[in-house]
Amino acid sequence: MRGPIVRLSPGLFLALLPAAATPSVVVPPAVAVDIADFAFGPAEIAVAPGTTIVWTNRDDIPHDVVAADAPRAFRSAPLDTDERFAFRFDREGRFPYYCSLHSRMQGVVVVR
The CB-of-36 to another protein minimum distance in angstroms stands at 8
The CB-of-35 to another protein minimum distance in angstroms stands at 11
Strand partners, 85: 7, 55
- Does 73 count as an annotated binding residue? no
The CB-of-50 to another protein minimum distance in angstroms stands at 26
CA distance 23 to 1: 27
Question: 67, 95 in Cβ contact below 8 A?
Answer: yes
Binding site for another protein (CB under 8 A): 37-39, 59-62, 64, 68, 77-78, 80-81, 96-98, 100-104, 106
If the CB atoms of residues 23 and 71 are measured against another protein, the closer one turns out to be 71
If the CB atoms of residues 53 and 79 are measured against another protein, the closer one turns out to be 79
The CB-of-19 to another protein minimum distance in angstroms stands at 29
If the CB atoms of residues 59 and 90 are measured against another protein, the closer one turns out to be 59
Give the CA-trace dihedral at 38, 44, 48, 53, to 10 degrees.
0
Other residues' Cβ atoms within 10 Å of the Cβ of residue 57: 23
Strand partners, 56: 34, 84
CA distance 17 to 26: 11
Binding site for Cu cation: residue ranges?
Answer: 63, 99, 102
